[in-house]
């Protein structure tokens, strides 16, 4: 764990926390749901097998539409931006939505230290929001199934606002909902996506070291802290 010294500009009044790769390891959910979706679309078993855990780990984080488009292209051996894959996304979404609702959380695990870290933040009286690019209904359902929902004042998914992370709009809107300024609202995430959004919004960023960062070392992304566990952060040092 690496930590920067606290300062007047890094005192927190609230926290915004990402979901996939930050609080819950959801790769297993994605793999199983995508396999069912591809099977529904009539894909060959060889095509389905291409969508493995390693591929999903490099692909998740930019919203369901992006995930489905890139998954279809990968399964079919096409470029990411191939129009055939893009055209098939609406049909794939119909299948994906049903499977994800049924299987959400069944093949995923809460990361060690997350419940304890959330309890520490709640004990300090910090209002919390979960902000993810996963659809809001899926995020709500997953947090409930993993026993984490009660910690959060708000849950916003990728369909909650006009744009998704790494655009700063979701963070700015979440700060409005929390009633805090971006400068005093910390974002906790696992990827350069989260860091880019936080930097553009003016929020300090803390990054976990165990999540999904599209195959790139997270330590190379500047942050207030890089932490191995959510409960290892000395939150009281930064409490405004």
Cβ atoms of residues 214 and 192 within 8 Å: yes
226: which strand partners? 2, 207
3: which strand partners? 225
Residues identified as active-site: 18
**Sign of the torsion formed by the C-alpha atoms of 119, 125, 131 and 137:** positive
Cα–Cα dist 170/196, whole Å: 12
Cis peptide before 166 (omega within 30 of 0): yes
Query: Taking Cα atoms as reference points, which of 30, 25, 61, 29 lies closest to residue 164?
Result: 61
Query: Taking Cα atoms as reference points, which of 200, 199, 196, 220 lies closest to residue 209?
Result: 220
């Amino acid at each position: 764990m690496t930590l920067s010294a606290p300062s007047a500009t890094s005192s927190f009044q609230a926290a915004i926390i990402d979901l996939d790769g930050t609080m819950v390891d959801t790769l297993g959910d994605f793999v199983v749901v995508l396999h069912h979706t591809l099977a529904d679309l009539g894909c060959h078993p060889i095509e389905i097998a291409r969508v493995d855990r390693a591929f999903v780990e490099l692909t998740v984080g930019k919203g369901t539409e992006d995930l489905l488009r890139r998954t279809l292209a990968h399964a079919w051996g096409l470029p990411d931006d191939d129009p055939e894959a893009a055209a098939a996304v609406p049909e794939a979404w119909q299948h994906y939505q049903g499977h994800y609702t049924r299987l959400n959380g069944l093949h995923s695990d809460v990361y060690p230290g997350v419940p304890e870290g959330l309890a520490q933040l709640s004990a300090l009286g910090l209002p919390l929001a979960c902000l993810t690019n996963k659809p809001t209904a899926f995020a709500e359902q997953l947090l409930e199934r993993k026993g984490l929902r009660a910690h959060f004042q708000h849950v916003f998914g990728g369909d909650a606002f006009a744009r998704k992370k790494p655009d700063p709009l979701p963070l700015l809107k979440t700060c409005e909902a929390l009633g805090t300024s971006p400068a005093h609202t910390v974002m906790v995430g696992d990827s350069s996506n989260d860091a880019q959004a936080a930097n553009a919004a003016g929020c300090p960023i803390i990054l976990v070291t165990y999540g999904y960062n599209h195959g790139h070392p997270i330590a190379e992304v500047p942050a207030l802290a890089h932490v191995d566990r959510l409960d290892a952060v000395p939150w009281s040092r930064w409490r405004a």
